[in-house]
Structure 1
Amino acid sequence: MSFNLSTGEIARFNEMEGSTPITQPLVLQVVSNIQPFGNQEPKRYRCMVSDGTKNTAIAVLSNTMTALVDQHQIARYTVLKVTKGNASKKPRPNETPIVFLIVVEAEILGTLEERIDSSGNAGVSMHQVPPPPQQNAQFESKPQFQSPPQQQYQPPQQQFQNQNQNQGSHPMGSFMARPDQPKPSFGASVSGAAVAPVHTGPAPPVHPIGDLNPYHNKWTIRARVTQKTNIKSWNKPTSSGRLFSVNLLDESGEIRATAFTQQVDKLYPLLEVGKVYYVSNAQVKMARQQFSNVNNQYELTFDDHSVVELCTEQGSVPQEHFDFIRLDSLGKFEKNNVVDVLAVVRDVGDITEITAKADQRKMRKRELTLVDQSGYQVRMTLWGDDADSFAVSGEPVLAFKGARVGDFGGRTLSLPSMGSMTINPDIPAAHQLRGWYDAGGRQQQFQSYGGSGGGGGGQGDSAEKFEAQLKTMAQVRDEHLGEGEGTDYFYLKGTIAYIRSNNLSYPGCPGDNCSKKVVENQSSGDWYCEKCQRAYAAPNYRYIFSINVSDETGQTWVQCFDEIGQVILGQSANVMAQYQANDEASFKRVLAEATFKEFKFRCRAKTEMFNENRRVRVSAVGIYPIDYVAEAKRLTRLIESYSQ
């Protein structure tokens, strides 16, 4: 039996302002364990609910429903028809708002065995959830993985003796004791290397990784370690320490878990790639995507109360997980997002060395050219040891886990230290890609993202390469570009109708690698930069202004920065600042000459908060003169497509 959930309702609540009463029945599914809500009386519960999409909301059940939860009539995977309640949204700085549903009245439609997917069908039959036996209730009320009463803590020597005398038995307990228990020692192999204690006894209730969030404080996951970093150190003026991370995978998704200074020595030898563990009592936090190669908005942090035990019953825990994207979809991803890519290596560059501007470090890199069935090619950069060790001949298929998206010259990829690369993986998608490439894909002409020599309006027939990303003003509006959570990149071909000139530039820092705004000291006449902590005799003005760009379908405002402004106005911001102060006629003349010129713009659209209101900001990240030969060819192809 299946249910039709109220798909899209949680996303709609995300767009609302303030609080909204629930006027139409909502069919939602409980997708988490149910937890007590606070300590107040009368008793209430909370849980996460889903509308059949990836969106979830926190539901607070009224006290009239408490008995139903206590009697296990409402449990995880129960489908509820909410008939009365209220929805509100709690904004969070730089994060997705949280939707809260206060459920006053609801009808129980049934309980399934798993979460309903986007098709609206869980694929299993409905079943009733009878009250569990008393002993199960007692087990759930106790801390998970608690040792049986007869199992006492033993010193390491006694543990090893018992282990040798009784083959197959393992020391009980987790690698870290709870505050109310004595701390057991770590397990050990015969050679003395630390190993994780093996979980024995009944299997605990398992929570899916895909449903973890900071509002659940009691959960246990069963997951496989798919990746483990080396131990890294940091030393800052305010702190120092060490850390390492692992990627944990189950059937519902993947999450990154990190151990810091105190836990590094304990956990690093216990967690082995490829093995499955029960993990609980770790902190769930918002993910720092710049340090992660996992597509999950949350991450785990191990602390003194965390529990890790080896699981011998691996069940259906997958070995590896990839979420491959096509190369032609890279434009949909924001800079520094991480993606999984499966592609053929079309070209391998030599190792080169560059010097980092920040700390003058010497870094080695190697660039690969990747292609796939989408007809696009992209540059992938390998760094350090990855660049040195890449010595594969031919044109292999590579699977990249956690490649980082860049926007240097359009769209690029790089493999960070936490990413991974598999050569010729034995998976169906890789075999299919190899078959396509050998059967004729090798002779195909591939499109590339912007860069020198093909920046959407440069030399040659570049319009053909980029017409898939070329948008009219009407398409920008109708496709709601920039209105999602990420960033959209596209090209516009339009005419500058107006230049907003009241604040054309700002006084910037003239120091190297600094463009911060400087402040004039009225008494001395110097200009001071707070970032550089230095005073300068004069500022270096930099453009920051908006232009109105129009085409035959509409118009939009585009923000321009220094490099773009110099192309449009043909003068540096310093010259225009002098004109504005001393020569108004020349200032207006330059603006007039720039108006009504036609360009092709590489644009970035993203939703930003301004005065507590969401609005889409379109910025120019590239500008190119119109190549009329290429444009004529593009229009010819467009006309031919309508005549076919």
Structure 2
Amino acid sequence: MATSLTPGAVQAIQANQKPEGNNFPVVQVLGIKKIQSKNKQNSQDRYRLVLSDGAFYQQAMLGIQQNELIAAGTLAPNCVVQLKEYLCNQIHGKNIVIILNLEVVCGPLDAVVGNPQNIEQQASQVPGTAPAAMKKLTPKPEPTTASLKPVQQHTKLAAPSSSTQSKNIFPIASLNPYQNKWTIKARVTRKGPMKTWNNNKGSGNLFSVDLVDNQGGEIRATCFKETADKFIEVFEEGKVYLVSRGQIKFANSKFNPLSHDYEITLDNTSEVELCQDDGAIPTVQYNFERISNLVNGTKDQMVDVIGVISDVQDVATINTKAGKELSKRDIFVADDTNSSVKVTIWADRAEQFNSPNGTIIAIKGARLSDYGGVSLSLTAASSMEVNPDLPEAHRLRGWFDETGGTIYQSLTQQFTPGAGDSGPAPKKSFAEIKEENLSSGKPVKFTNRATITSIPDKDSSWYTSCPGKDPNDPSRNCNKKVNESNGQWVCDKCDGTFPAPKLRYILHVACADATGTAWVTLFDDVAQQLLGQPAEVINAWKSEGNSDAVLQLYKDKTFQTLNMKMLAKEEVYQGDPKVKYSVQSISPVNYATESRELIEQIRQLTG
């Protein structure tokens, strides 16, 4: 089999045109490079290609909807491809090529076809604009042929319909910051409420919508100030729109649960047009996590879960730092992994929630928290769907009807800090913990009778924390580290500005038991219980030059033997695994109780 590369293909692509007599140019892929995403969480891989027509070569970005070709090994260096759809945008004077759809013609060749030169370097040597210059420098290459290896299998994506091409509809998955003229056709799966802010940076209002297209691609669009006022009444959940123009930037995974690397900011140039419903466009896209797997997640991670409501608690009212009352409701959701988790619902949704036990509920974009062990909290961007028509829902219904949902265990109670009365943790020594396999990253809860052997005098024993409330969970303090700016303390998490921070302990002490020693961390509540003084007092003593009082306090608190509830977790530092210990609670040793336990152990050993 012999196949020719398309002469002049690279020049035509650079000019965002089709080569003469060939709407779908054939080129060789000289190289493929994976691009590291700035959005580490919920990100999709991006790839840069080097394309050659035998005379010139250029770089191009591959649309993420084509990633499956690389994952399957079909698209590889030196293979030959036919470009079905592409575009070229000029950003800061540089041509950025995006490949939206391609088909692999044959597998990797034994060598590079021709002697291709860098088209950008050649163009820079000729005065004038890039497209005009390229017309002067493009030679008439002799038709090049090569012996091609047939591809055993490949995936061919459906070409856009003629109507789609005429409207220049882009797949959401292909959107990236290098595009400035684009239109998407998408359904609004979630419309957030209008929110306002007022801080030292200014004031304004905003709202956001989540959009999904007929290929399942999802992206969030946010409107600010005048744009928010313009489009707040235009967007409606469930309806389909043509959306064009706007800024595309990296998504903040802390606030955006969608998997797209980017998000849209609509501005005064943006256009939003309501269109007829399209049955090919799905509704909400879920990426469900099994509830038992939540223990392996990270704090503040956004997750989707589906489960059966096992308990609905009454609405409670809390007071925020601003003095406003806020409603909250806790529900417990279980699935067929025999696990359940607490989900906190806020404000109007908490008051209006009326689904009984046994209801199937799907939640998108809940924030994972380590408060009370493992729990979830809904944010303004989260959504809920009751009794959805999904395969996962039907599976859970069968499980619940068969078992009654009575065999699950609550993750929210499993790792509760300081929960000494919620059930005893197993007693283990430091040596026993080190012998356990902690490589999964899952924390191990245990109790140990240990003696404090050293409390170092370090300024790093506390940190400056935010005294405000957590914006995602107003029932909790923010506690985020704050930084000083112009005499004020600024919190990046809640955007608050405060005259003074709150000092919170992160006290590291050395402990020993009968099997060995370990450095353990005591956080604020436990450290205050041990020292009997808040961090502000210790800091004041040192600021006043009374370091002797601090040293004496530390000396008085050493060589105490205490019962400690701890969490042990393995972390990797500079390639080496280390077990880190944090103390959840401390209590004095009850020698009478300890003696009875020892006697019982002796009886069991002697029979």
What TM-score comes out, normalization by structure 1 length?
Answer: 0.57
After the TM superposition, which residues 470-489 of structure 1 pair with which residues of structure 2 at under 5 Å, given as runs?
A: 472-473=433-434, 478-479=439-440, 481=441
Task: Give yes or no for the alignment of 1:247 onto 2:210.
Answer: yes
Task: Give yes or no for the alignment of 1:501 onto 2:456.
Answer: yes
Structure 2 counterpart SS, 1:322: coil
Indicate the residue corresponding to 1:370 in structure 2: 333
Q: Distance in 1 between matches of 2:309 and 2:404?
A: 12
Structure 1 counterpart SS, 2:329: strand
Q: Distance in 2 between matches of 1:341 and 1:507?
A: 35
Task: Give yes or no for the alignment of 1:267 onto 2:231.
Answer: yes
Indicate the residue corresponding to 1:82 in structure 2: 31
Which structure exhibits the higher relative contact order, with contacts defined as CA atoms closer than 8 Å and separated by 6 or more residues? 2
Task: Give yes or no for the alignment of 1:230 onto 2:193.
Answer: yes
In the TM superposition, residue 113 of structure 1 has moved relative to its aligned partner by 12
After the TM superposition, which residues 141-220 of structure 1 pair with which residues of structure 2 at under 5 Å, given as runs?
A: 202-204=165-167, 206-220=169-183
In the TM superposition, residue 435 of structure 1 has moved relative to its aligned partner by 1.4
Q: Distance in 2 between matches of 1:353 and 1:438?
A: 34
Structure 2 counterpart SS, 1:581: helix
In the TM superposition, residue 401 of structure 1 has moved relative to its aligned partner by 1.9
Give the counterpart of 1:342 among 282, 306, 310: 306
Structure 2 counterpart SS, 1:324: coil
In the TM superposition, residue 305 of structure 1 has moved relative to its aligned partner by 2.8
Indicate the residue corresponding to 1:400 in structure 2: 363
Q: Distance in 2 between matches of 1:511 and 1:296?
A: 34
Give the counterpart of 2:557 among 590, 596, 614: 590
After the TM superposition, which residues 512-591 of structure 1 pair with which residues of structure 2 at under 5 Å, given as runs?
A: 543-547=505-509, 558-567=520-529, 574=537, 581-582=548-549, 587-591=554-558
- Cα deviation per residue 1:377-415 (whole Å; 9 max; x = unaligned)? 222222222122222344211111222223322122222
* Structure 1 unmatched ranges of 5 or more: 1-35, 37-41, 46-65, 143-198, 482-487, 520-527, 637-644
- Name the % identity: 29
Q: Distance in 1 between matches of 2:279 and 2:163?
A: 15
Structure 2 counterpart SS, 1:347: strand
In the TM superposition, residue 585 of structure 1 has moved relative to its aligned partner by 6.3
Bigger Cα displacement from structure 2, 562-571 vs 438-447: 562-571
Bigger Cα displacement from structure 2, 90-99 vs 542-551: 90-99
Distance 1:502 1:360, change over 3 A: same
Distance 1:369 1:517, change over 3 A: closer
In the TM superposition, residue 571 of structure 1 has moved relative to its aligned partner by 6.7
Give the counterpart of 1:305 among 269, 275, 278: 269
Indicate the residue corresponding to 2:354 in structure 1: 391
Task: Give yes or no for the alignment of 1:281 onto 2:236.
Answer: no
In the TM superposition, residue 362 of structure 1 has moved relative to its aligned partner by 0.6
- Aligned partners of 1:263 and 1:302 also within 8 Å: yes
Residue identity in the other structure for 1:279? V
Q: Distance in 2 between matches of 1:207 and 1:316?
A: 15
In the TM superposition, residue 327 of structure 1 has moved relative to its aligned partner by 1.8
Indicate the residue corresponding to 1:153 in structure 2: none
Give the counterpart of 1:438 among 401, 405, 420: 401
Indicate the residue corresponding to 1:31 in structure 2: none
What TM-score comes out, normalization by structure 2 length?
Answer: 0.60
In the TM superposition, residue 598 of structure 1 has moved relative to its aligned partner by 6.0
Distance 1:616 1:119, change over 3 A: farther
Residue identity in the other structure for 2:363? F
In the TM superposition, residue 300 of structure 1 has moved relative to its aligned partner by 0.9
- Cα deviation per residue 1:224-267 (whole Å; 9 max; x = unaligned)? 21112233344456533332211111334322101222323443
Give the counterpart of 2:392 among 414, 423, 429: 429
Give the counterpart of 1:72 among 15, 19, 25: 25
Q: Distance in 1 between matches of 2:45 and 2:446?
A: 35
Task: Give yes or no for the alignment of 1:458 onto 2:420.
Answer: yes
- Aligned partners of 2:526 and 2:586 also within 8 Å: no
- Aligned partners of 1:509 and 1:529 also within 8 Å: no
In the TM superposition, residue 433 of structure 1 has moved relative to its aligned partner by 0.7
Residue identity in the other structure for 1:328? S
Q: Distance in 1 between matches of 2:165 and 2:499?
A: 66
Distance 1:206 1:122, change over 3 A: farther
- Aligned partners of 1:491 and 1:600 also within 8 Å: yes
Structure 1 counterpart SS, 2:300: coil
- How many residues align structurally? 473
- Cα deviation per residue 1:262-313 (whole Å; 9 max; x = unaligned)? 3234433433332333433221223344544534443211123334445558
- Cα deviation per residue 1:97-117 (whole Å; 9 max; x = unaligned)? 999979599999xx9996354
Residue identity in the other structure for 2:388? P
- Cα deviation per residue 1:188-242 (whole Å; 9 max; x = unaligned)? xxxxxxxxxxx97744555443443434445443322111223334445653333
Q: Distance in 2 between matches of 1:384 and 1:499?
A: 47
After the TM superposition, which residues 8-47 of structure 1 pair with which residues of structure 2 at under 5 Å, given as runs?
A: none
Structure 2 counterpart SS, 1:563: helix
- Aligned partners of 1:508 and 1:541 also within 8 Å: yes
Q: Distance in 2 between matches of 1:95 and 1:436?
A: 30
Q: CA RMSD in A?
A: 5.8
Distance 1:95 1:549, change over 3 A: farther
- Aligned partners of 1:282 and 1:300 also within 8 Å: yes
Q: Distance in 1 between matches of 2:565 and 2:389?
A: 43
In the TM superposition, residue 437 of structure 1 has moved relative to its aligned partner by 1.2
Distance 1:410 1:93, change over 3 A: closer
Bigger Cα displacement from structure 2, 568-577 vs 497-506: 568-577
Q: Distance in 2 between matches of 1:260 and 1:336?
A: 24
Structure 2 counterpart SS, 1:365: strand
Residue identity in the other structure for 1:602? L
* Structure 2 unmatched ranges of 5 or more: 1-9, 91-161, 469-476, 491-496, 602-607
- Aligned partners of 1:517 and 1:529 also within 8 Å: no
Structure 2 counterpart SS, 1:439: helix
After the TM superposition, which residues 605-624 of structure 1 pair with which residues of structure 2 at under 5 Å, given as runs?
A: 620=582, 622-623=584-585
Distance 1:515 1:255, change over 3 A: closer
Distance 1:297 1:342, change over 3 A: same
Give the counterpart of 2:564 among 596, 599, 612: 599
Distance 1:402 1:81, change over 3 A: same
Residue identity in the other structure for 1:299? E
In the TM superposition, residue 351 of structure 1 has moved relative to its aligned partner by 1.8
Q: Distance in 1 between matches of 2:258 and 2:39?
A: 22
